[in-house]
Amino acid sequence: MTIEASDIIVWVLVFLRTGAFFMGIPLFAGKMIPTRFRLGFGLLLAILVNPLVPANVDLAYHFVGAILLAMNEVCIGLLLAMSVRMVFFAVELAGHLISYEIGLMASNSVNPLLGSSDSTITTLLYYFTLVVFFVAGIHYDVLLAFTLSFEVLPIGSFFQKANPTFGFVRETATVWVIGTLMAAPFIAMNFLINISFAVLGKAVPKMNVFVTSFSVRIVCGLALLISSLLLITSYVLDHSRRSAHVMLDLIQP
């Protein structure tokens, strides 16, 4: 069995794209999973898809060309991973807004997946989104879309031909929209509670409305959070399924 130099170059470029992808997608992007395991998953996927990948590595026979192609594949993998994580960014934004509106912003907990300290509601919603993502089987669609990315943008095709700037900015803007829509019931609830206690404070001057409103806001907020889980799940499912199509749309030449 003879292994050509071009086959080795193609495999390395495929591994760079898959490795960058697994370094950035949800669950694998945090500090909880060691880097060697993430690279191991990327290596396994590269071995599986390498025989089916179209490639043109004429430029890779030059040292500078090989570096450019390697950087190109890393950028493609990271962009595909970021498009999948958009819905998780939206959930984190919604968690921060909800925590602020119901008065639990000071309640922090460590998120072992991301290695950061977030509000308790943010960490809870992140885990909830992760469970929905895998239970609904969206990870299969994401892996299929990633495999198809080698046909849409083959190895050796430069990333600049796709010009994903406009699409990526548009998807980034949806993060703010989705996060705000998820937190909209809590913003409305906080507004109504503030108005109610402002009127109550005028009617009962001796009542400490500032302290009492905190307790009411937390109780109402937690009750509304339980009631809004189906709403949050619908947003997560819709935009997670959409992320597989966004991955391919961003790299269309």
DSSP 188-243: HHHHHHHHHHHHHHHH-TTS-HHHHHHHHHHHHHHHHHHHTHHHHHHHHHHHHHHH
Write down the pLDDT at residue 93.
87
Terminal-residue alpha carbon distance, the chain: 36
What count of other Cβ atoms lies within 10 Å of the Cβ of residue 198? Answer: 12
Could you give the CA distance from residue 221 to residue 232 in angstroms, rounded to a whole number?
Answer: 14
Structure tokens belonging to residue 133: 């993502």
Write down the pLDDT at residue 112.
53
Q: 46 in helix, strand or coil?
A: helix
Query: Is the CB of residue 156 less than 8 Å from the CB of residue 59?
Result: yes
DSSP 78-129: HHHHHHHHHHHHHHHHHHHHHHHHHT-TT-EEEETTTTEEEEHHHHHHHHHH
Structure tokens belonging to residue 159: 């990333």
Written as tens digits, the pLDDT of the chain (253 aa) is 445 656 677 778 888 888 888 887 777 766 667 777 777 877 888 888 877 777 776 666 677 777 888 888 888 888 888 888 888 888 888 888 888 888 776 656 555 555 566 677 888 888 888 888 888 888 888 888 888 888 888 887 776 555 677 777 888 888 888 888 888 888 888 888 888 877 877 777 776 777 777 788 888 888 888 888 888 888 888 888 888 888 888 777 6
